[in-house]
């Protein structure tokens, strides 16, 4: 099965439709499928529900889709650093389902494993628990969380072979792995593709059976959310 496509638009061809649900990998600006997000924006598809740790920042990452008003609902664990996200939510233009970070990762992992729901203590007694079933186990309360299944998963990998076996690099592993399994179709954006047999099987983070299509997105212009610097030793701290 040929999995490598010439560009992001080709890799998404026939998969996008209005009102769909997308699981998107990444954490802030780390490990996000930039080229695939750009292709989704260019397609004009709208009324999207997106499950992602956050929505990028203004005009970067998923923030681009917020700016173009293509997102109807975000399922997220972190909603800071994006003024447009804040504005749309407070004005009632954007629906937000707030989900604790570990719970979000587990909801996607559970959805990918065919588990429709699970009980967790996280969020008990808070707004997160409102409207959810509560069950007692050994004298402790737990709330029912539903697994997430998406029409499409978009993820970012470091290196893949032609069969789609994937390696994530360091922090970019974050949400990409659970998001990949939660979608009916997973499209991976990678920095490099090598022949089958080139990768050590023991180092594979995501088996190729989960990856249906791939696109090479490199080169990248590394973006940094917050730049923290300190003066050089012996300097007076002046810029």
Closest CA to 169 of 151, 184, 191: 191
With beta carbons less than 8 A apart as the criterion, state whether 40 and 65 touch.
yes
- Helix, strand, coil percentages, rounded to 5, for the chain: 25, 30, 45
| pTM exceeds cut of 0.85 | yes
Domains of the chain, by residue range, sit at 19-117+147-216
Distance CA 100, CA 122 (A): 8
Average pLDDT of the chain? Answer: 92
User: Minimum mean pLDDT among 81-90, 125-134, 203-212: which range?
Assistant: 81-90
Residue 24 DSSP SS3: strand
196 token code pair:
């089958």
Domain 19-117+147-216 superfamily per CATH: Glutaconate Coenzyme A-transferase (3.40.1080.10)
The pLDDT, as a whole number, for residue 236 is: 59
21 token code pair:
């649900």
pLDDT-based confidence at 94, cuts 50/70/90? very high
Token pair 């499950």 in the structure block, residue: 51
Distance CA 190, CA 99 (A): 28
Cα angle 59, 60, 63; round to 5: 65
Closest CA to 55 of 67, 43, 42, 40: 67
pLDDT at 68 over 60: yes
User: Minimum mean pLDDT among 103-107, 108-112, 231-235: which range?
Assistant: 231-235
Cα angle 223, 226, 229; round to 5: 110
Residue 147: how many CB atoms within 10 A of its CB? Answer: 18
pLDDT at 231 over 60: yes
Residue 37: how many CB atoms within 10 A of its CB? Answer: 25
The pLDDT, as a whole number, for residue 235 is: 59
Token pair 């974050």 in the structure block, residue: 174
The pLDDT, as a whole number, for residue 63 is: 92
The pLDDT, as a whole number, for residue 79 is: 76
Q: What is the mean pLDDT of residues 147-174?
A: 95
Distance CA 35, CA 76 (A): 21
Peptide bond into 202 cis (omega under 30): no
pLDDT-based confidence at 205, cuts 50/70/90? very high
pLDDT at 237 over 80: no
Q: What is the mean pLDDT of residues 123-150?
A: 96
Token pair 């588990």 in the structure block, residue: 115
Token pair 């699970």 in the structure block, residue: 118
């Amino acid at each position: 099965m040929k999995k490598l496509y010439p560009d992001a638009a080709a890799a998404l061809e026939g998969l996008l439709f209005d009102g769909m649900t997308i699981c998107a990998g990444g954490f802030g600006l780390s490990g996000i499928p930039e080229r695939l997000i750009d292709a989704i924006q260019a397609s004009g598809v709208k009324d999207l529900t997106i499950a992602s740790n956050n929505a990028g920042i203004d005009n970067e990452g998923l923030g681009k889709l917020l700016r173009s008003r293509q997102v109807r609902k975000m399922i997220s664990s972190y909603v800071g650093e994006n003024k447009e996200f804040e504005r749309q939510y407070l004005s009632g233009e954007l629906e937000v389902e707030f989900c604790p970070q570990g719970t979000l990762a587990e909801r996607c992992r559970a959805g990918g494993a065919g588990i429709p729901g699970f009980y967790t203590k996280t969020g008990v007694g808070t707004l997160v628990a409102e409207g959810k079933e509560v069950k007692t186990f050994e004298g402790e309360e737990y709330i029912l969380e539903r697994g997430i299944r998406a029409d499409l998963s978009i993820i970012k990998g470091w290196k893949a072979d032609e069969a789609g076996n994937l390696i994530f690099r360091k922090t970019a592993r974050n949400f990409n792995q659970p998001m990949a399994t939660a979608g009916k179709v997973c499209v991976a954006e990678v920095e490099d593709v090598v022949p089958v047999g080139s990768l050590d099987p023991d180092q594979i983070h995501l088996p190729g059976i989960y990856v249906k299509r791939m696109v090479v997105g490199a080169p990248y212009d590394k973006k940094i959310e917050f730049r923290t610097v300190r003066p050089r030793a012996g300097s007076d701290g002046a810029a």
